[in-house]
Amino acid sequence: MKLGIVAALCVGASALAAGCAPKIGDSCSNSADCSVDGERVCDVAQPGGYCTIAGCDPDSCPDGALCVEWRFMPARTSATWCMEDCRKDGDCRQKAGYRCVHQGPSGTVVYDGETILDPTDAPVLARITDIERRDDKGFCAAVVTSEK
């Protein structure tokens, strides 16, 4: 009888742990917060950390994420990362500064109808590499807004 209770508790704990598994875009302070097996990493350069997978290929990210290629021009500077997918800002961690951005013309990153610029006033370049992506899908990224 005690064995049945212990087994039930173990099954319940496993189900609870699986339900709380970190997903792409979750906050983190180190890579162990994202994955104990090293599959996912914590990008601590992002506000509050950002669970991601580096070096993704098209359509290789887990459900709820898109493979995004950053800095693809020139090609030698590119890097790919799994990013949390979204349709609206509310799908992202807004309190931490994340917004639902979209791929714009020529791979520019667009938020709220405006091209996002880097500190040198050059457009930030990123493109969604997933073949099956829909045009209305974006990805959650930290957006710094300034009052003009």
Q: Considering the domain boundaries, does residue 91 fall inside one?
A: yes
Q: Is the pTM of this model over 0.75?
A: yes
Structural domain containing residue 118: 52-142
Q: Which two tokens mark 34? A: 């994202």
Q: Considering the domain boundaries, does residue 129 fall inside one?
A: yes
pLDDT at residue 109 above 80? Answer: yes
User: Which residue do the tokens 């699986």 mark?
Assistant: 18
What is residue 104's predicted lDDT score, i.e. its pLDDT?
A: 84
Strand blocks (E) in the chain:
41-42, 51-52, 65-70, 79-86, 98-103, 109-111, 114-115, 126-128, 138-142
Confidence of residue 136 (pLDDT cuts 50, 70, 90): low
Q: Considering the domain boundaries, does residue 80 fall inside one?
A: yes
Q: Considering the domain boundaries, does residue 134 fall inside one?
A: yes
Q: Considering the domain boundaries, does residue 10 fall inside one?
A: no
Alpha-carbon distance of 108 to 18, in angstroms, equals: 36
Q: Considering the domain boundaries, does residue 7 fall inside one?
A: no
Which 3 state secondary structure label does DSSP give 121?
Answer: coil
Q: Considering the domain boundaries, does residue 88 fall inside one?
A: yes
Q: Which two tokens mark 139? A: 């990805």
Average pLDDT, the chain: 81
The string of pLDDT tens digits covering residues 65-90 is 999 988 877 778 889 999 999 999 99
What's the structural domain count of the chain?
A: 1
Q: Considering the domain boundaries, does residue 106 fall inside one?
A: yes
Alpha-carbon distance of 85 to 140, in angstroms, equals: 6
Q: Which residues contact 127 (CB under 8 A, 6 or more apart)?
A: 68, 69, 72, 103, 107
What is residue 132's predicted lDDT score, i.e. its pLDDT?
A: 64
